[in-house]
Chain A
Amino acid sequence: MKKTKSSKGKKLFIKKDVNGAMDPDTNPEFVETEQETGVVEETKKVKQKSKKSNEQPTAGESEEFLSGKPVPREDDNKAGETGPEMQRKTDTKVLENRGPWQETFADENTILIQRTVRSGQSIRFDGNVVVMGDVNPGSEIVASGNIVVMGALRGVVHAGALGDERATVAAFKLQPTQLRIANHITRAPDGDYLTPEYPEIARIKEGVVVIEVYQMGQDRQTKIG
């Protein structure tokens, strides 16, 4: 029987300066994603590419491309319309349709990773990262935006890696080896600690990384943005 906390319960990670403060000069760069696995592709780059070769996926297809499945091109028979233009149109649509609460990150990139991120794998992305799978110990996700893990998060994550303190990390099981938001570095306390079975979200509140129960809806969504 697992111990559970009250829904209002807060779990404070020890905010600790592990090895001296993070040097802003040594912040990870976001120009490329990991070459070795070859799975993650920077969508921004893909977006700007013209439709020269058929192998090149458009931004809209990047999700499927990430999982490595061959994807039929929908716009193949639409003459005169290039991939990038198509994408721009959809983007505008999204922007028009968004509610009064204005999702801050709506116009930024998000990638979807549909696999387990395993030890030794590293995902670096300028935007938000959504993982449909687990993030195992020894792996690393670095994003300039938010990180959402629909599974167990046990590796190292760094949200808002370019300095955005509004960035959040949410996971079904939030048990990271190390959790970083902007220039805050936190880890779980030594010894035993609670491992709740419900989704949690980490964010910076009043200069401290706070972990709370993830609650859907309400005005909370704007805060998450």
Chain B
Amino acid sequence: MGEVIVITSGKGGVGKTTTTANIGTGLAALGYKVVLVDTDIGLRNLDVVLGLENRIVYDIVDVTHGNCRLKQALIKDKRFEGLHLLPAAQTKDKTAVTPDQIRELCAQLKKEFDYVVIDCPAGIEQGFKNAIAGAEKAIVVTTPEVSAVRDADRIIGLLEAAELHSPKLIVNRLRPLMVKRGDMMSIDDIIDILAIDLLGVVPEDEMIVITTNKGEPAVLDNNSRAGQAYRNMARRITGEDVPLMDLEAETGFMNKLKKLIGFK
């Protein structure tokens, strides 16, 4: 029996889809059977981020409406045998599926896969209700901005109301230097407000933009700091105890040199 995890945020653009793609790929890289479910019907992106857009024939709406079998709609990833995607429909809207249908779908997927990771749409309306319907665990993504934290707080409230207790937090796009200068909320500030457990912190990284555009998750890039953060999070999800990475670490030449000769 697998685990159904929903990745949500309330606010748009904080990195739900990127996080879903990377954590899913990270889990698949660890050897688990993973299915990523895109519930953002009408504004689907997960397929693009994974570079699987051109393989879509059937989507989640076709499955729930009985136009095809669930197996026909699942797209195998081109890199990992264990990674699958259930794409959202693009020409329909959120009302095309109901929470009950998603619940049923998750129950089916859970039998086949170790992890069912659901990419939730922004907002707190129908799409959100659909996405959380079948979930057993929740991950809330936020950025160190007052608006995003406010929305995350609202989402945590709604998750608790839906019996999804103790969600985990991911702080995305953190810039350690700005935090140091006092220009950006720190992890402590955010946890102070949201009062939930931290799953991981993703530093701002140009590689995310590059890899997202290429359709190859950053988690596969060993040189990417964000990729490292996602790899760590995937391991934490599996129950492993991984310490938070050192965000302050400088990447300049002198620091690398110091590291090399053992000064650091």
Chain A residues near B (Cβ < 8 Å): 18-20, 22-23, 26, 34, 36, 119-122, 137-140, 156, 177-178, 185, 187-188, 190
Contacts and interface: CB of A to CB of B under 8 A. Distances in A.
Contacts, number: 49
A22 B75 CA distance: 14
6 contacts: A120-B43, A120-B90, A140-B91, A177-B53, A177-B54, A190-B78
Interface string B46-84: 000001011111100010000110011111001000000
Given A20-B72, A22-B57, A178-B56, A138 B62 contact: no
A98 to B, nearest CB: 36
Chain B contact patch, size range: 20 to 34
Nearest to B51: A190
Nearest to A23: B68
A34 B91 contact: yes
Contacts of B90: 119-120, 138-140
Nearest to A190: B78
A140 B91 CA distance: 8
B42 interface: yes
A137 B55 contact: no
Interface of B: 42-44, 51, 53-58, 62, 67-68, 71-75, 78, 90-91, 93
Contact of A19 (B43, B54, B73, B78): B73
Contacts of A140: 90-91
B75 A19 contact: yes
A187 B91 contact: no
Contacts of A177: 53-54
Nearest to A138: B90
Contacts of B43: 120
Given A26-B68, A34-B91, A178 B58 contact: no
A18 B57 contact: yes
A67 to B, nearest CB: 21
B74 A137 contact: no
